[in-house]
Amino acid sequence: MKGRAARYAAVAGAGLLVLAAPFLAPAFVTQFTFLWLMIVFALTWDLMGGQLGYNSFGNILFFGIGAYACAVFQRDSGLGYYEALAIGAALGGVLAAAAAAFLGLGILGLRGHYFAIGTLGLGIAAGEIAGGWDYVGAGSGMTVPLFPGALAARSLFFYFTLAALALATFLTLRWLYGTRFGLALNAVRDDEDKAEAMGLYTARLKTAAWSLSAFFLGISGALAGNLIGFIDPRDVAFAGATYGVWMVLMAILGGKGTLWGPVIGAAVFHITQEIFWTYLLGWQRVALGLLIVAIVVFFPQGILGTLREKFPGRFGSKAEVQ
Amino acid sequence: MSLLLDVKGVTKRFGGVVANDAVSLSVREGEIAGLIGPNGSGKTTLFSSIVGAHPIDAGAVLYEGRDISALRIAEIARRGLTRTYQQTRIYGQMPVIDNMRISAPDVKEGILPLFRRAGRASEARARDLLSFVGLYEKRDLLAGSLSFGQQKLLEFAMALMSEPKLLLLDEPTAGINPTLINGLIDRLKRANKELGVTLFVIEHNMRVIMNLADRITCLAHGQVLASGTPDEVREDPRVLDAYLGAQ
Ligand SMILES: Nc1ncnc2c1ncn2[C@@H]1O[C@H](COP(=O)(O)OP(=O)(O)OP(=O)(O)O)[C@@H](O)[C@H]1O
Ligand SMILES: [Mg+2]
């Protein structure tokens, strides 16, 4: 009972903080907004990499599909700003999910490292295609419609929409991991042949997981494209070397295969990166590279995984009894 | 008693090795059938051939009167024919109880049942089966942290959880503490009698299989050497030869 009250208090406190943050620290609103984006990146990556055991290096594809789909809809629909953005974002999510389902037919049949390598080309190929396709602006990219309001209002708008998306992603996955669908994902991760021999529909399961991951990433792409204001095929939409790699790192840093790990990993990574950018200008990429190596060497289990090893009682991995 | 499983002339080759050479045998509904034979005689390969783990080169596998030799392993499992593995396979990074939960029979119906609540009956059955194999106290441990013998017992409990009609057990007593083997034999018999699961058991321990099986088939060099009641097989000179020759 006491635990439950403390939990409600913590949730309420965190909620208030999220609502108040842009007003308490207005100079950092954009950084906070990107933090929400990073949380979506890490959570959706971990659904595949951590829970299902399929390390995808191509998830950036779905982000880019969402960004382009939304921008095209905004350009051609003739609707008002908010309507076009809302429908465009939904369209981006659905198209990204459909792309995952289609690609999954082929690629999800690959196991282990072969899957990882198979996905590696996805983002690169998409960047090349978008960069040569006039319908989406080819190499010069796409601009999005201007926000109908003041600059401060624009910052707040994107802060809150991305916060809502991160929360929706988090709550969806929290629910999912409490169902037997979540257990089935873990079963495939631990021994896919056994899962198949026990009669599980592993192919459908994997496709469903990838599509769900892609759905949230597609929406995040739609919103991020509008937040950034300009969609470059290689540096924004299909930015495999930055966003694409960060997704993986943040999930590993926080703890693969846990609900909170990716959230913690995204926060630590994003803040560290901002600090590097501020204090190590010119060397920030070197520092980031070293950080990445340090993460993999010293935190192979991630922050949560390490804590769990040290304090198994407090961070035990008990699945909820349904 | 009707035939639940009818293996007809199954041949399986690995390159030049003929692991199963025109093997024919049958398992009757409700019985405990045994499969023995020296190391490398093709017992495990035959199980894999039956459950669809690999394509066979010749012959047919009839289950409930239907040819299942072209079906894949998951489809066969959904019809109630499952096997356990000689090397044991469990979900190592998941708690023991979750290994049981994800082996419930309705997960074989598709994706949507996974979103249904498992229900009290299913939860109770998972706990009962863990008690049945003596692992209830270990329910919250990661399955991978159990000893080999305990993992064997867990795999057996998972198989029972999935409510098969025919269960193929590959050396269920291997790695089990010898003082616990009699208890395990008793449990196998109870699974057969009380839960109504037909069993087909590979076993190296002669005392165990003689005690357990209604009928026994002996393989050697991929071929059926002899089959019959435990007494018939035990006294068959070819079986004695195969075992002595292999020592
Ligand atoms: N995947 C495989 N690839 C190549 N050869 C194999 C394979 N599986 C089994 N064999 C060979 O087939 C033959 C039969 O092996 P199998 O494992 O079926 O024997 P077994 O009767 O189960 O033996 P044991 O009592 O040691 O478990 C052996 O010669 C083995 O080396
Ligand atoms: Mg064997």
Q: What is the pLDDT of residues B28-37, one digit of tens each?
A: 999 999 999 9
- SS3 string of B32-49? EEEEECCCCCCHHHHHHH
- Please write the tens of the pLDDT for every residue from A48-95: 999 999 999 999 999 999 999 999 999 999 899 999 999 999 999 999
Contact between B51 and A197 using a beta-carbon 8 Å cutoff:
yes
**Taking CB atoms and an 8 Å cutoff, what residues of chain B touch A190?**
90-94, 144
Ligand number with the minimum distance to the CA of B246:
1
Amino acid at B221: H
Cα–Cα distance for residue pair B90/B99, rounded to 1 Å: 7
Q: Read off the pLDDT of residues A13-23 as tens digits, 9 standing for 90 and up.
A: 888 888 888 88
> Which of A190, A208, A316 faces B94 most closely, judged by CB atoms?
A190
Percent of chain A with pLDDT over 70: 96
Give the pLDDT band (50/70/90) at residue B244: low
Task: Tell me the shortest Cα–Cα distance from A171 to chain B, in angstroms.
Answer: 15
Report pLDDT for B175.
85
> Per-residue pLDDT averaged across B227-235, rounded?
91
- How high is the pLDDT of residue A307? 82
Burial class (CB in 10 A: 0-12, 13-18, 19+), B172: buried
We report the CATH number of the domain holding residue B174 as 3.40.50.300
pLDDT value at residue A319: 39
3-state secondary structure of B36: strand
Strand A142-143 and strand B66-67: pairing? Answer: unpaired
> What are the Cα distances from residue A1, in Å, to A14, A175, A321, B15?
20, 22, 18, 65
At B201, give phi and psi (nearest 5°): -120, 125
Whether complex ipTM tops 0.85? yes
Q: Do B73 and A196 touch (CB under 8 A)?
A: yes
B127 near A CB under 8 A = no
Pairing of strands B58-63, B3-14: antiparallel
- Which helix (H) or strand (E) segment is A124 a member of? helix A112-131
Read off the pLDDT of residues B45-94 as tens digits, 9 standing for 90 and up. 999 999 999 999 999 999 999 999 999 999 999 999 999 999 999 999 99
pTM score of the predicted model: 0.92
What is the maximal distance between C-alpha atoms in chain A?
61
Q: Indicate the length of chain A as a whole number.
A: 322
**Percent of chain B with pLDDT strictly greater than 70:** 98
Sort out which chain A residues have CB atoms less than 8 A from B107's CB and list them.
180, 184, 198-200
Q: What angle do CA B196, B198, B204 make, to 5 degrees?
A: 130
d(CA B108, ligand 1 centre) in Å: 29
Residue A312: predicted pLDDT: 65
Cβ contacts of A198 on chain B, cutoff 8 Å = 77, 82, 102-103, 107-108, 158, 162
Report how far residue B124's alpha carbon sits from residue B121's, in angstroms, rounded to the nearest whole number: 5
Q: Are A37 and A239 in contact (CB under 8 A)?
A: no
Two structure tokens written together for A292: 């990445």
Q: Tell me the per-residue pLDDT of B95-136, one tens digit each, with 9 for 90 and over.
A: 999 999 999 999 899 988 898 877 889 999 999 999 999 999
pLDDT, tens only, B40-51: 999 999 999 999
Residue nearest to ligand 1 atom 30, measured at CA: B40
Q: How many CA atoms lie within 13 A of B236 on its CB side?
A: 20
Work out how many domains chain B is built from and give that number. Answer: 1
Q: What is the DSSP letter of B88?
A: -
Spatial distance between the Cα atoms of B173 and B183, rounded to a whole number of angstroms: 10
Pocket of ligand 1, beta carbon within 6 A:
B 14, 17, 19, 37, 39-45, 86
On whether the CB atoms of residues A84 and A77 are closer than 8 A, the answer is yes
- Mean pLDDT, chain B, as a whole number? 93
Which of A181, A189, A191 minimises the CB distance to B114?
A181
Among protein residues, the one whose CA lies closest to atom 29 of ligand 1? B40
Encode chain A (322 residues) as per-residue pLDDT tens digits. Answer: 567 888 889 889 888 888 888 888 888 899 999 999 999 999 999 999 999 999 999 999 999 999 999 999 999 998 999 999 999 999 999 999 999 999 998 888 888 888 988 898 888 888 888 888 888 888 888 888 988 989 899 999 999 999 999 999 999 999 999 999 999 999 999 999 999 999 999 999 999 999 999 999 999 999 999 999 999 888 888 888 889 999 999 999 899 999 999 999 999 999 988 888 888 877 877 887 888 788 778 878 888 888 877 776 655 544 333 3
Helix axes A112-131, A60-76, angle to 10 degrees: 30
Sort B136 into a burial class: Cβ within 10 Å, 0-12 / 13-18 / 19+.
Answer: middle
CB proximity A272 to B under 8 Å: no
Domain that holds residue B83: 3-246
The confidence score (pLDDT) of residue B84 equals 96
What angle do the packed helices A245-254 and A284-298 form, to 10 degrees? 40
Tell me which amino acid residue A181 is.
Answer: F
Ligand 1, pocket-test mutation among B17, B39, B83, B200, most atoms within 8 A of CB: B17
pLDDT value at residue A212: 97
Q: Which residues contact A12 (CB under 8 A, 6 or more apart)?
A: none
